[in-house]
Amino acid sequence: MKKRHLRNFAIIGTGMVGTAIGFLLKKAGYKVISVYDKSPAALKRATSYSGGKPFLNPQDAVQEADCILITTPDDFISSACGEVALSPSLKGKFVFHMSGAGGLDLLEAARKAGASVASIHPLQSFSSIDQAIKIIPGSYFGVTADKKALTPAKNIVRRLQGIPIVISPDQKPLYHAAACFASNYLVSLMNVVESIYQSIGISEKDAKKAYLPLVYGSLNNIEKSGSVAALTGPIARGDSGTIKKHLTAMDKNLRRYSSLYSSLGLITVKVAQKKGTLNAGQAKKINALLKGENHEHSS
């Protein structure tokens, strides 16, 4: 019985992730029997990647499937699930979504219709279908599942060559917030770096060439030694004079980034103390500067 549940897949929503997962499921030996999307172009593309038969109605698409993957944008998961749940053949099947932040409540309609539900979320960032196909294998997946769906969900992740980590429903928002820091906010931070360099006349192209080796070096250090040991720079050294120069220059020229600099600085003080390179007196002095206590903010 368990094998039957892990054989035939329907994919509801054939954007970048749904299409890539369809391809990888097929490659892993599963059968994608159906794909559904409102966009004819997306449907055609998903068919070529996964071999799934295209359907124009979600209820028809899930009839023969053992496992239904809802890979629509997050805001549409619940309504897509509501449509799928109208199928008379949902009892005993599995319905999964792939949202990072969304919980199992998004699949409540399927659960009420007799399905077992789960979420499998690849901890990755994709810019294209082909890139997703390349980097999903080897990635960690956050798995949130009801009792019956947990083992099948973990098995699917492993067959996709992913590594499952079990995340409880109440942990999911924090799990996803951490992922946003690691990916989205890192991109935003690099945008800040570019903006600062552009403000002193360095082109975006040159700025990127200049700072990326520094970023890669830091990431290599984190990979080898961990985030605490990898910390370098003026806060790690207790160099309050340099911090003061930074704050004065930011306030004068790029006030919009001052609070970000200070917020990240306060976190960096704690990391430096964990590393053991910053004593209590130095930490107090730098914290005071970052909080504006010993630092005149220009109006």
Q: Is the pLDDT of residue 295 over 70?
A: no
- The whole-number average pLDDT for the span 141-148 is 96
Q: Indicate the pLDDT class of residue 245, thresholds 50, 70 and 90.
A: very high
Residue 4 confidence (pLDDT): 43
The residue-averaged pLDDT of 137-143 equals 96
Work out the number of other CB atoms within 10 angstroms of the CB of residue 192.
15
Instruction: Tell me what the mean pLDDT of segment 111-130 comes to.
Output: 93
Lookup: tokens for 234: 């003026």
* Overall number of domains in the chain: 2
Q: What is the pLDDT of residue 6?
A: 63
Q: Would the pLDDT of 12 be above 90? A: yes
- Any idea what the Cα angle at residue 205 is, between residues 200 and 211, rounded to 5°? 70
Task: Kindly state the percentage of the chain with pLDDT values over 70.
Answer: 96
In a domain, 88, yes or no: yes
State whether 132 and 222 are in the same domain: no
* Distance of alpha carbon 135 from alpha carbon 152, whole angstroms: 22
What global pTM score does this model have? 0.85
Q: Note whether 191 and 61 are same-domain residues.
A: no
Would residue 176 count as lying in a domain?
A: no
Q: Do the Cβ atoms of 84 and 63 come closer than 8 Å?
A: no
- Residue 134 located in a structural domain: yes
| Average pLDDT of the residues of the chain | 92
> Is residue 112 domain-shared with residue 220, that is, in the same domain?
no
Q: Which domain holds residue 225?
A: 182-290
296 in any annotated domain: no
22 - beta bridge partners?
A: none
Task: Work out the burial of residue 145: count CB atoms within 10 Å of its CB; fewer than 13 is exposed, 13-18 middle, 19 or more buried.
Answer: buried
In a domain, residue 44? The reply is yes
Flag whether pLDDT at 149 surpasses 90: yes
pLDDT, position 3: 43
Would you say residue 125 has pLDDT above 70? yes
